[in-house]
Amino acid sequence: MNSADRPSPNDQNQMNPKQEPKLVGKLISLSKKGSPSFSKMHIRLNTSAESPQPGSWLAVEAVDANDQQLRILAKVVNSWEHNPHEDAHGSAVNEVIPFPTNYAPEGESTIIYRIAEVEPVKEVVKLVY
C-alpha cells in the first residue's frame, strides 16, 4: 500500500472507467496511533490536494498476498495540519515577544504537512484495462 486517490468533484459522477483518479497523498505509518492497521490508516496529503472532509471517501492502492492490485475503500474520519511553528508553545512565545516569523510553507518545508485519518471499509480488485 503506498498511495491514496479519489475522483475530483467534477469527475465523480462522470468518471470513465479507463480514467485514473487524482492522487491525493501517500499512505504513511503513525506508530503512536497504531497505523496502518485493519481499523485505521493515515494519508500524508500532497500539497496540491484539498483536505478531504470527514465522511468523504478515498481509495488506497494496495497489493494482496497474491500480488494482485486492489484498492481499499476508506472513509475519512479527520484531517489536520502538522505545523510545529504554530504549536501552543510557539504561539505563546510569539504573543509575549512579538517578532516576525518566516518559515517555508507546506510543500517547501520538511516539517509542515497535512494528514487524513481514514477507516478502511472494503477491498476491491483494481480493474486493469
CATH number at residue 78: 2.40.10
Beta-carbon contacts of residue 68 (< 8 Å; ≥ 6 apart)? 125
On whether residue 119 sits in a domain, the answer given is: yes
Closest CA to 106 of 84, 76, 78: 84
On whether residue 108 sits in a domain, the answer given is: no
pLDDT per residue as tens digits for the range 1-45: 456 665 444 444 444 556 667 889 999 999 888 888 989 999 999
> How is residue 35 annotated by DSSP?
B
pLDDT per residue as tens digits for the range 63-74: 888 888 889 999
> How is residue 85 annotated by DSSP?
G
On whether residue 69 sits in a domain, the answer given is: yes
Domain count for the chain, please give it. 1
pTM over 0.85: no
On whether residue 92 sits in a domain, the answer given is: no
Rounded to an integer, what distance in angstroms lies between the CA atom of residue 77 and that of residue 86?
23
On whether residue 47 sits in a domain, the answer given is: yes
On whether residue 65 sits in a domain, the answer given is: yes
On whether residue 104 sits in a domain, the answer given is: no
The residue segments making up the domain with residue 15 are 3-84+113-125
On whether residue 121 sits in a domain, the answer given is: yes
